[in-house]
């Protein structure tokens, strides 16, 4: 096969396909998508020999919006004999092996859907003999490392699977491409996990160290009940929390939070500027995009992390229009920022945007 297998949230297949179409055009590596709605993944087939592998080495999951994992598919195995699934899988992996790369990781996975989850136990069990077999053949290192190729087997049923590989720097390090987080028991809302996932997966160590430090200031627009403010306070920031709602009392007791019952669209930072602006207001994405650009343009905030709520249709177009608006408004200053957009695991019908200066 000459295709990519791209995991996404169930229901987001057409958005992932639209994004892949546009990436394939911008990289001049042409192909077309194939998917069934609600299956939690798409395939993207390429025309040129070797193009899937080329794309798999150029396209990082972290630079896409809707992809959770990207695998270069080398074979699709159908109607596997339940008495001997291992043999054909080992053969398919052997046929696609490369002298150039060491295989240092193995993922046996399924879609993040109800149907896919029914295969979880089987996938876990299958990993054991497959890992042993691959190591015996010298096709998988004994020590797991993230700097080599990862081998992937993706079951769509007990007797059907895609076989392939992914490259370091391009793949997600997480099983199923999902960053699972434990809910912090003292956080006032589950929304807290959205900001935590963004901080952990969309920023690098340098960003985290320079933005989240004792004494740094943040504004949180649409803050109540305080899940995002909780993440900022946990990182020693002082927060202006803006919302007409009620904020969690234990957050106020930290002495690090000032709550203002004001409109996020007219609020100005109390001391002229802050280090970080965050915003989780349920509002039209175009309005939020304009507001975020204004704060950055005016120098009211150095960095911004915010969510764009998505409509039911044309979600990819909505996101690209909002990002286009931000870039256009920042004008020449746009090159001073690193802008990323991700549909995070803890997001629902929304994406998270990070705009980081420097």
Residues lying near ligand SAM in the complex (CB under 6 A) are found at 188-189, 191-192, 221-228, 242-245, 263-265, 280-283
Least spacing, CB of residue 222 vs ligand SAM, in Å: 3
| Residue 117 or 190 having the CB closest to ligand SAM | 190
Q: What is the dihedral of CA 301, 305, 311, 314, to 10 degrees?
A: 100
Catalytic residue among 102, 309, 314, 357: 309
For ligand SAM, the closer of residues 75 and 247 by Cβ is 247
DSSP letter assigned to residue 77 = E
What is the C-alpha separation between 224 and 255, in angstroms, rounded? Answer: 17
CB atoms within 10 A of CB 79: 9
Question: Could you tell me if 337 and 207 are in contact, meaning their C-beta atoms sit under 8 angstroms apart?
Answer: no
Least distance CB 58 / ligand SAM (angstroms): 35
> Contacts for 239-243 with beta carbons within 8 Å, 24 or more apart?
240/267, 240/269, 240/270, 240/274, 242/267
Closest CA to 219 of 305, 141, 285: 305
Q: Beta-strand (E) ranges in the chain?
A: 3-7, 31-34, 41-46, 69-77, 103-110, 149-157, 160-166, 217-221, 238-242, 257-260, 274-279, 301-309, 337-342, 350-357
Upstream peptide bond of 225 is cis (omega within 30 degrees of 0): yes
Q: Cβ 349 to ligand SAM, closest distance in Å? A: 12
| Distance in Å, CB of 137 to ligand SAM, minimum | 49
Query: Shortest gap between Cβ of 357 and ligand SAM (angstroms)?
Result: 22
CB-nearer residue toward ligand SAM: 243 or 302: 243
> 4 or 221, CB closer to ligand SAM?
221
Nearest to 72 by CA among 88, 55, 93, 48: 55
For residue 32, the cross-strand partners are 45
Chain residue whose CB lies nearest ligand SAM: 227
Cβ of residue 249: shortest distance to ligand SAM, in angstroms? 14
- 309 among known catalytic residues: yes
Question: Is the Cβ–Cβ distance between 44 and 35 less than 8 Å?
Answer: no
CA pair distance 163, 152, nearest whole angstrom: 6
DSSP-based three-state secondary structure for 309: strand
Full strand arrangement of the beta sheet holding 160-166 = 31-34, 41-46, 3-7, 69-77, 160-166, 149-157, 103-110
Can you name the residues that pair with 76 across neighbouring β-strands? 162
Q: How far is the CB of 121 from ligand SAM (least distance, A)?
A: 34
Nearer to ligand SAM, 59 or 256 (CB): 256
* Cβ-based nearer residue to ligand SAM, 116 or 222: 222
Q: Could you give the CA distance from residue 358 to residue 356 in angstroms, rounded to a whole number?
A: 7
Q: Which is nearer to ligand SAM, 204 or 253 (CB)?
A: 253
**Residues labelled as active-site residues:** 309
């Amino acid at each position: 096969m000459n295709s990519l297998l791209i995991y996404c949230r169930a229901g987001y297949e057409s958005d992932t396909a639209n994004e892949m179409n546009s990436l394939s055009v911008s990289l001049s590596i042409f192909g077309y998508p194939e998917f069934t709605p609600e299956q939690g993944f798409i395939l993207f087939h390429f025309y040129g020999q070797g193009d899937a592998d080329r794309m798999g080495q150029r396209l990082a999951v972290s630079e896409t919006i809707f992809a959770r994992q990207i695998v270069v598919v080398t074979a699709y195995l159908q109607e596997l004999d339940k008495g001997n699934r291992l043999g054909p899988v080992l053969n398919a992996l052997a046929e696609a092996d490369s002298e150039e790369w060491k295989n240092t990781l193995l993922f046996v996975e399924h879609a993040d859907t109800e149907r896919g989850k029914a295969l979880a136990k089987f996938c876990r069990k299958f990993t054991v003999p497959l890992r042993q077999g691959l190591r015996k053949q010298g096709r998988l290192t004994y020590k797991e490392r993230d700097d080599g190729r990862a081998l992937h087997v993706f079951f769509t049923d007990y007797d059907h699977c895609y076989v392939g590989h992914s490259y370091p720097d391009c793949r997600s390090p997480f099983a199923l491409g999902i960053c699972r987080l434990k809910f912090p028991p003292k956080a006032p809302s589950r929304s807290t996990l959205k900001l935590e996932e963004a901080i952990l997966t969309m920023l690098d160590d340098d960003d985290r160290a320079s933005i989240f430090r004792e004494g740094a200031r943040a504004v949180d627009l649409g803050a109540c009940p305080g899940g995002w403010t909780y993440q900022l306070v946990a990182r020693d920031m002082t927060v202006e929390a803006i919302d007409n709602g009620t904020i969690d009392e234990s957050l106020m007791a930290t002495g690090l939070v000032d709550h203002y019952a004001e409109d996020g669209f007219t609020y100005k930072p109390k001391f002229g500027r802050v280090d970080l602006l965050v915003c989780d207001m349920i509002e039209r994405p175009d309005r939020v995009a304009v507001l975020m650009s204004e704060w950055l343009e005016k120098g009211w905030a150095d960095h911004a992390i915010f969510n764009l709520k998505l409509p039911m249709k044309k979600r990819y177009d909505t996101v690209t229009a909002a990002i286009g608006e931000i870039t256009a408004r920042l004008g020449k200053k746009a090159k001073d920022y690193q802008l990323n957009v991700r549909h995070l695991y803890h997001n629902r019908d929304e994406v998270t945007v990070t705009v980081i200066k420097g």
